[in-house]
A and B are shown apart, each in its own frame.
Chain A
Amino acid sequence: KQEVTQIPAALSVPEGENLVLNCSFTDSAIYNLQWFRQDPGKGLTSLLLIQSSQREQTSGRLNASLDKSSGRSTLYIAASQPGDSATYLCAVNAGANNLFFGTGTRLTVIP
């Protein structure tokens, strides 16, 4: 069974700082990897989807990379803002959109 780990579990940074969130997975046979954002008491908002054949995807201040062979993905957030405060989840698609989630990184951006 695919296991997904996210480190760190929590992160606090001052506003304006660039930061990196990490995601690792145990089985490199994946279709794609998706990064989500979850605000307290809310559902999941899709941020980026990286196909297994891709190395990275960018959306605004977000950049996600994928190294399938080593079982790792990173989410880079540039120039962080207080509005970026949320829990960030990565999900590995093991096939047929059977998504395996990590437990998330809770990000706090301090004004």
Chain B
Amino acid sequence: EAGVVQSPRYKIIEKKQPVAFWCNPISGHNTLYWYLQNLGQGPELLIRYENEEAVDDSQLPKDRFSAERLKGVDSTLKIQPAELGDSAVYLCASSFSQNTEAFFGQGTRLTVV
């Protein structure tokens, strides 16, 4: 069974440009998360979905970040416009339900120049 799939794996963009990341969770997993990981740090939650509903987006910088999970399956995370400080690894994770084991994708490493 395929794990959590993210694309692209790497992205380099100039500041002020838009960028989007895509995530396909494990089949049947209702809960999807986007995490941000800075170098040498642990991941931090950006947004959590239960099916298609964003139930926790308190850490998402809404002035430039947006996310959606259409039909409660795949999800996209967008940044517009990107800033230098957005350079990080963006991780997607999924779990069957709340408080069950979370599985992570390989991440997208974003470099803003």
Q: Which residues of A contact B (CB under 8 A)?
A: 4, 31-32, 34, 36, 41-46, 49, 89, 91, 93, 95-99, 101-104
Q: Which of A43, A46, A49, A103 contacts B42 (CB 8 A)?
A: A103
> Counting CB contacts under 8 A, is B45 at the interface?
yes
Residues on A with C-beta less than 8 A from B40 are 103
Contact A42-B106, Cβ < 8 Å, known A32-B99, A97-B33: yes
Q: Which of A34, A41, A42, A102 contacts B102 (CB 8 A)?
A: A34
Residues of A with C-beta under 8 A to B100: 97
Q: Are B91 and A43 interface neighbours, CB within 8 A?
A: yes
B17-51 contacts to A (CB < 8 Å): 31, 33, 35, 40-45, 48
A95 and B98 CA atoms in complex are apart in Å by 8
> By DSSP majority rule, is chain A's interface helix, strand, loop, or mixed?
strand
Known contacts A41-B109, A42-B106, A44-B91; decide if A95 and B43 are in contact (CB<8 Å): no
Q: Which residues of B contact A99 (CB under 8 A)?
A: 33, 35, 43, 45, 102
Say yes or no: B48 contacts A46, CB within 8 Å.
Answer: no
Of A41, A44, A96, chain B has the most CB atoms within 10 Å of the CB of A44
Select which of A91, A93, A102 is within 8 A of B99 by beta carbon: A93
CB neighbours of A45 from chain B (8 A) = 104
Whether A46 contacts B101 by the Cβ 8 Å rule is yes
- Residues on B with C-beta less than 8 A from A96 are 48, 55-56, 98-99
Partner of B101, one of A4, A34, A43, A101: A34
Chain A residues, CB < 8 A from B91? 43-44
CA distance A104 to B35 in the complex (A): 16
- Chain B residue with Cβ nearest A98: B45
Contact A4 B42 (CB under 8 A): yes
- The answer for the CA separation of A101 and B89 in the assembled complex, in Å, is 15
Contacts A/B (CB < 8 Å), 22 sampled: A4-B42, A34-B102, A36-B104, A41-B109, A42-B106, A43-B4, A43-B106, A46-B101, A46-B102, A93-B99, A95-B98, A95-B99, A96-B48, A97-B31, A97-B33, A97-B99, A97-B102, A99-B102, A101-B43, A103-B40, A103-B41, A104-B42
